[in-house]
Structure 1
């Protein structure tokens, strides 16, 4: 599934007017992992005032650079992206991480990746330019993000999704700081990243994998587990049909076990909005499925 990683923010200044043909949109065939680094790179280019002709002198031929910024043609080698990052003042480490992830997802071999990074391998480990505010925010929200991602994703995929989220946030950190709420900005990135990696059924994310490690099953006897598991699977199917805001709240509250204030802090929304979303979601679930009395779960 292809997901846009654009996040809502405050109205920005109009992009500088450039001579020549306008840069075309990202191709529909570009996958989510490729889009994860391409969108921030395009945004930085569009806001920079630079032209393709200008950049072509130091990065790549104008026609090829246009293709790169639209995601068409061959997947670009890191040495080209590294030069472009230097011209646009993009942080190298998060860009490299996302570029490498997308390269592997498009079928590039590890040997191709290694050969593509010759002479710039220090970028892969250099994080000395990480903003202190970014580091502090990531430390604060990491556990909550991992818990949320693990409901939709399995194995190490949920860890990769969170690491990718933090890399994208670093690339867009100036925009995040200028947004109305940086926590909300970061959460929008996490949601888009998790959605891009999740499995879907009838265009809704599948939560069934979470059934084996939910609060509902932790204190259930082995004899009662099959019945409770069936109930949980039915509940997960219903939850997946909720609007995004209500789904996020219900996942964090009832599958991850967070208190309302913790959910408010993670989502970057008022506590009243959390309670309202949970109330409306519960009404939908009560009308959709027959649930046992809610006992033993998170309390307000």
Structure 2
């Protein structure tokens, strides 16, 4: 990540805590782009013809949901790609209960400017390589509709932040962190840990998890296993989901996460050991002490 240039004036305040994940999906990249632009709030507000206080509120997610014309003007001054920003803005607007008529009215004047755009060639190539794997991962936590939204949002966010992804130590790891953040923002949590969805029962390698833990042979016990898996550290949970629930080969998991095989094997081994330690073995009928 590029260092944030020093700028005069009051520092931009934090994003509102109650902001939805869909709203943050486009606001976070816009804030980051602004913070690294070298512009002050005063300069930016003059360029987009919006009061400084309103510009500050918009970049903090405070107040009414902003109209697309304003976001479009900001994106032009910050040199952000319009199309992924528009799709993220539109999805957040609908989730904020804005009508489709309201969305359409907001985009009438800029429709031609936000259509027929294509991401960078290397972004498209990357998406072709990983999209099916990303969908398998998201399916474990989300229903079909939410899975598709999360994966689509991931690639739109990556488009907005593609230069940062390329400049990072590992583009694959950068992209995976975007996917994970996006999926987890839409995943129900219990005691601050992600809940595996019902789709996890349909994963092709469920039986291999059962065999590895060597404890589970009924639905109730499978639920116990999923609860235990949710307690794993994030990196171990990801490895177990990819390897044991999605059945993805070791070399592909390494490529997705941007980590070496030894690390994947270690995470998998420690995860299985943890699961075996917390899932009680079934009592053996007639067993004597």
Normalization by structure 1: what TM-score?
0.87
Distance 1:291 1:256 in 2: 25
5+ residue gaps, structure 2, are 209-215, 283-289
Q: After superposition, what is the alpha-carbon deviation per residue over 1:80-115, rounded to whole angstroms, capped at 9, x for unaligned?
A: 000100000000011001111111111111111111
Q: Which of 152, 162, 167 does residue 163 from structure 1 map onto?
A: 152
Task: Judge conservation of contact 2:206–2:245 (CA < 8 Å) in 1.
Answer: no
1:68 is matched with 58
5+ residue gaps, structure 1, are 1-9, 220-225, 293-300
1:253 is matched with 243
Task: Judge conservation of contact 2:143–2:197 (CA < 8 Å) in 1.
Answer: no
Structure 1 208/96 Cα, relative in aligned 2: closer, same or farther at 3 Å?
closer
- Structure 1's consecutive aligned runs of 4 or more residues displaced over 4 angstroms after TM superposition are 216-219
- The structural deviation recorded for 1:72 is 0.6
Are residues 1:33 and 2:45 paired? no
- The structural deviation recorded for 1:215 is 2.8
1:108 is matched with 98
Distance 1:168 1:56 in 2: 24
2:285 is matched with none
Distance 2:220 2:206 in 1: 11
Distance 1:97 1:68 in 2: 18
Task: Judge conservation of contact 2:85–2:160 (CA < 8 Å) in 1.
Answer: yes
1:177 is matched with 166
- The structural deviation recorded for 1:231 is 3.1
What is the Cα-based RMSD across aligned positions, in Å?
A: 1.9
Distance 2:225 2:75 in 1: 46
Answer 1 or 2: which has greater helix percent.
Answer: 2
- The structural deviation recorded for 1:291 is 6.4
Task: Judge conservation of contact 2:205–2:246 (CA < 8 Å) in 1.
Answer: no
- The structural deviation recorded for 1:188 is 0.3
Structure 1 182/291 Cα, relative in aligned 2: closer, same or farther at 3 Å?
farther
Distance 2:162 2:257 in 1: 17
Q: After superposition, what is the alpha-carbon deviation per residue over 1:264-295, rounded to whole angstroms, capped at 9, x for unaligned?
A: 11111111110000000011001011469xxx
- The structural deviation recorded for 1:217 is 6.1
How many correspondences in the alignment?
274
Task: Judge conservation of contact 2:139–2:200 (CA < 8 Å) in 1.
Answer: no
2:213 is matched with none
Structure 1 250/123 Cα, relative in aligned 2: closer, same or farther at 3 Å?
farther
Moved more, 22-31 or 134-143: 22-31
1:186 is matched with 175
